[in-house]
Structure 1
């Protein structure tokens, strides 16, 4: 097994002392790191880099880092002039990124966040420190065990801060950012880590009290939870940190006097139950506000925190504050977008004899709102209208365009008893002059249920993936007729007018309307996605409509999906 404290360097076993000293510091890092010379060749590498890359040090040392490692998302080599990591190395500047790929020894791709920073080896020689943190990757081997560090050299401090930046900025989830922050400082700097955050309602919540025990990090939930309000003017260390006044060293003796607030009572309880004899407390600052405070404590190791430790903790807390502020902003945007999406997407009508359900899944890396939409509503002549569409884009502009198209479609369909093709022609013309949607795809259909229970559908397709009809016996076919160009292309460019198609819907069958996020996947053809959807739908034909829809989404949506998905399913009475 690879020794996590070993760092390899170039040479014949007697490397230059300066290089050896610098590369030796890489062993303290809990993420992949390597050093390059001024030509971009690897001169030192830590065990975690070997571990994550699936490459031995002997295969890395002396190699051009760009040629060996850097790839695009499809595994293709990147032009040297277009590689941000290489550009940062040769510019001698500090830079970071969150969307790069590295090729492992077995040819697989490792998505990483990275940070590059120059460092001086001696008066004549410079090197570049490259730190990379694997983004969540299924199947990646577990991280190697860590060793506690009582004191850090200047280079180790620099490396720790670089690692903090790359680790925390690669997530937009507050809970995940807190977990990573705790993993960074324990057990390297302390035996205990305590994180107090101020909520948006100006309440203090003790989010984490974690102890490093025998190589594991254990939460002490009995000490976590809501805290008393922050007292104005209190001179006590945590109260000052939560007001953003100052960082402070503290010990159990700090809180032995008469408490001046509820927070002081909780702090005395914390020291009593953890056995901490020394603590360092620093505020966590966002861009414009105080987000909370971080406390590091020592109980097992005898050395006390010093002023130098406070300076390091402040640097860590500053980086944590920026990451938490970004994560909070992202979560607020997601919440606003979720609310908007709930208002934009309609409630499905109750149609006698028909079962109907719909799903909307946002793109995982978008703002929870986009241009995919569905609709179903009763028409004035007693028929039922169905629609599924996709406006180009994955942002609020796309959502606004979607809402405009949906409302215009409803107005035309209700007022005019015309075939779907004619309704969509009017909608297309209006979209060029009124709506803000640039281009969009759409399937619009009218479903009729006769007195004897027979059901049929007439539809037109404006550049959208074809509807899927699944019989109760599991025969699944795509309805490819009625196809025309997408909306937003001038009608005069179309060789023919829009056309309609009609099909009977057998008793017990299921009609599935969906958007392309359900069938498109990077590196796979559209035909593969359609066939996957068809086979999954056929296998689920006997299921009730709700589980049919849920399982169809779960099985058919590509694992690396980068698009939102809308789905409308209708079950014909048996």
Structure 2
């Protein structure tokens, strides 16, 4: 039986659940299992992964195979709905039957698969539980609590966007645990901002923007529940009576307004902690639900707040990395020169992942003989080291192009020979070109291509074609074969597009698909002003699944 690839994040999420658990894919085959399940079933992961869970595990009380038509788990699985059974049986590796209780729920693994989470307990342990009656509460049963925490782990750790993390957090807790959810965040300037105030209105979430916004500062010695949570001191169950006393701070006044406006009679407040600091506080409130929170509910609220804190911490770190990366690129990439008679524009779009910055670049600059140099390139690698290598390569190219009045092929040959000695770049692709006015007033392009996607030339009337001549090997291969040059005349009003592969490539799609998409859209927008043309091409052509940065350089000959 082939064993599927299991992500470390998914396995880690299951291991964080305090019960035996596994995840099945849309076919019902096990794709991840935790150590508790392996132990309870006496089966190693290799004997579980890839197998149909029903056929392998599900049995009747005497160990007989259970027909699928009689399986409540299978029926709920196909319906895509949660379900729970208190008395059922799984087969262990030695052939014995393990009495269990189970809960299943749809589960988001973060990779858009339609998966289902199965959590199960040994029923002997369940029967050993304290038989004394519990006081009336709205606390979740143990299996549902574990399922909620597993869902919270999967949902909150699979996003790197703060707003999206807050939306997912809201959907997890309202109305399952509370009528109201409030999230107060501490900004990087140490200010408190009430980011979320949401009420469960039937199946929808009603946002109350009038209660959101900046909050007064937190007093270091305030004993009030929200102030203590924002300092990371403690979680608290509280109610409106706490804030009807004389307020000790402006934040207590805002809390009184919150309780009065929402009608909450009970609230559980927990700190939201990151790995290094307190990021804010989570408040769950009940108004329509008549059952008040108890201190026994705080463990669950704290667990959810802890997962929210990790998600927000990662999202903030990602945003800081992205800002650094974008700032670096903005400083490294040049402004377009002014060339009489030519229109020039360029764009750079960073990769969706901040760690993927760096390799793509463009350049345009005047040459000593009056021509204008154009370059587009892609340095192998996707990190800040690649960005630094890109800057080195660009500067060496500029120096050779200015000091040597030679064809593009010879300039690139010099660059290739020097690259391994005076830069940190191991391999790169590049188009280097010259554009200049000929004696009859036309604009002539000459170029060489070092393993890069071909330039696209679009006539004024929308006829588009790729310039496939002048193609040679990439830089850094060690091959010293002569590089070819190619030439083309740019007709009046024609548009030239130089771009990097992030514009046309997508995982699992052949390159011709992206090239055809670029050609069709570029031809359709050829009549637009150059800036609008460039923006439309990027918007329409760049694949949604793109995980690479994109550089684009476009010029238009006078009409």
Which bracket does the TM-score occupy, shorter chain normalised? 0.7 to 0.9
Relative to structure 1, is the Cα distance of residues 45 and 399 closer, same or farther in structure 2, using a 3 angstrom cutoff? farther
Q: 2:527 aligns with which of 509, 522, 542?
A: 542
Question: What residue in structure 1 maps to residue 9 of structure 2?
Answer: none
Q: Which ranges in structure 1 are unaligned for 5 or more consecutive residues?
A: 1-21, 24-31, 65-95, 103-109, 126-148
**2:441 & 2:287 partners in 1: Cα distance?**
77
- Name the CA distance, whole Å, in 2 between partners of 1:466 and 1:63: 60
Cα drift, residue 531 of structure 1: 2.0
How many Å separate the matches in 2 of 1:47 and 1:220?
A: 39
Tell whether 2:427 aligns with 1:426: no
TM-score when normalising by structure 1: 0.77
Q: Give the aligned partner of residue 229 of structure 2.
A: 241
The structure-2 alpha-carbon separation of the partners of 1:455 and 1:63, relative to structure 1 and needing over 3 Å to count, comes to farther
Cα distance per residue 1:158-199 (max 9 Å; x no partner): 111111111100100011101111111111111111100000
Whether the 8 Å contact between 1:33 and 1:45 is mirrored in structure 2 is no
Residue 401 (1) aligns with residue 389 (2): yes
The Cα of 1:382 is off from its aligned counterpart by: 1.0
Q: CA–CA distance in 1 between the matches of 2:174 and 2:112?
A: 28
Alignment of 1:287-366 (within 5 A): 287-366=275-354
SS of the residue corresponding to residue 360 of structure 1 reads strand
Structure 2 equivalent of residue 273 of structure 1: 261
Structure 1 position 455, deviation (Å): 0.5
Distance 1:398 1:331 in 2: 20
Q: Does 1:525 align with 2:510?
A: yes
Moved more, 542-551 or 194-203: 542-551
Q: 1:108-119 residue pairs with structure 2 within 5 A? A: 119=120
Residue 10 of structure 2 corresponds to: none
1:16 maps to none
Cα displacement (A) at 1:561: 1.6
**Following the alignment from structure 2 to structure 1, what is the Cα–Cα distance between the partners of residues 140 and 272?**
22
Residues 150 and 188 in structure 1, CA contact (< 8 A), matched pair in contact too: no
Q: CA deviation at 1:527?
A: 2.0
Q: State the secondary structure of the residue aligned to 1:367.
A: helix
CA contact (8 A) 1:511 1:569 kept: yes
| Cα distance, 1:379 vs structure 2 | 1.1
| Runs of at least 4 residues off by over 6 Å | 32-37, 61-64
User: Shift of residue 123 of structure 1?
Assistant: 4.2
In 1, Cα distance between equivalents of 2:76 and 2:312:
26
Contact 2:110 2:154 in 1 (8 A): no
Tell me the distance in 1 between the aligned counterparts of 2:172 and 2:346.
43
Aligned partners of 1:154, 1:176: CA distance in 2, in Å? 28
Which has the higher mean CA deviation after the structures are superposed, 538-547 or 465-474? 538-547
**Map of 1:449 onto structure 2:** 437
The alpha-carbon deviation at position 398 of structure 1 amounts to 1.2
Report the equivalent of 1:253: 241
Helix, strand or coil at the partner of 1:157 = helix
**Counterpart of 1:235 in 2: which secondary structure?**
coil
Q: Partner of 2:122 in structure 1?
A: 121
2:460 counterpart SS class: coil
Counterpart residue number, 1:194? 182
**Separation in 2 of the partners of 1:62 and 1:373?**
61
Q: Within 2, Cα distance between the matches of 1:97 and 1:427?
A: 49
Q: CA deviation at 1:238?
A: 0.5
CA RMSD of aligned residues (A): 3.0
Partner of 2:487: 502
The alpha-carbon deviation at position 150 of structure 1 amounts to 3.2
Q: Distance in 2 between matches of 1:101 and 1:543?
A: 37
CA gap 1:45/1:548 in 2 versus in 1, 3 angstroms: farther
- Separation in 2, partners of 1:273, 1:33: 47
CA gap 1:532/1:349 in 2 versus in 1, 3 angstroms: same
Gap runs ≥5 in structure 2: 1-19, 22-29, 59-71, 92-106, 127-136
| Structure 1 residues 197 and 446: alpha-carbon distance in aligned structure 2, compared to 1, 3 A threshold | same
Q: Is the 8 A contact 2:318 2:354 kept in 1?
A: no
* Alignment pair present for 1:381 and 2:369: yes
Deviation of 1:48 after TM superposition, in Å, equals 7.9
Contact 2:200 2:206 in 1 (8 A): yes
CA distance, structure 2, for counterparts of residue 115 and residue 366 of structure 1: 31
Q: Which residue in the other structure is 2:558 paired with? A: 573
> For 2:321, what is the secondary structure of its paired residue?
helix
SS in 1 for 2:430: strand
Q: CA deviation at 1:50?
A: 3.6
Q: CA deviation at 1:248?
A: 0.8
Residue 161 of structure 1: which of 135, 144, 149 is its match? Answer: 149
CA contact 1:373–1:566 (8 Å) conserved in 2 = yes
Cα distance, 1:534 vs. partner? Answer: 1.6
Q: 5 Å matches for 1:199-238?
A: 199-238=187-226
What secondary structure sits across from 1:209 in the alignment? strand
Instruction: Tell me the TM-score normalised to structure 2 length.
Output: 0.79
1:53-68 correspondence runs (5 A): none
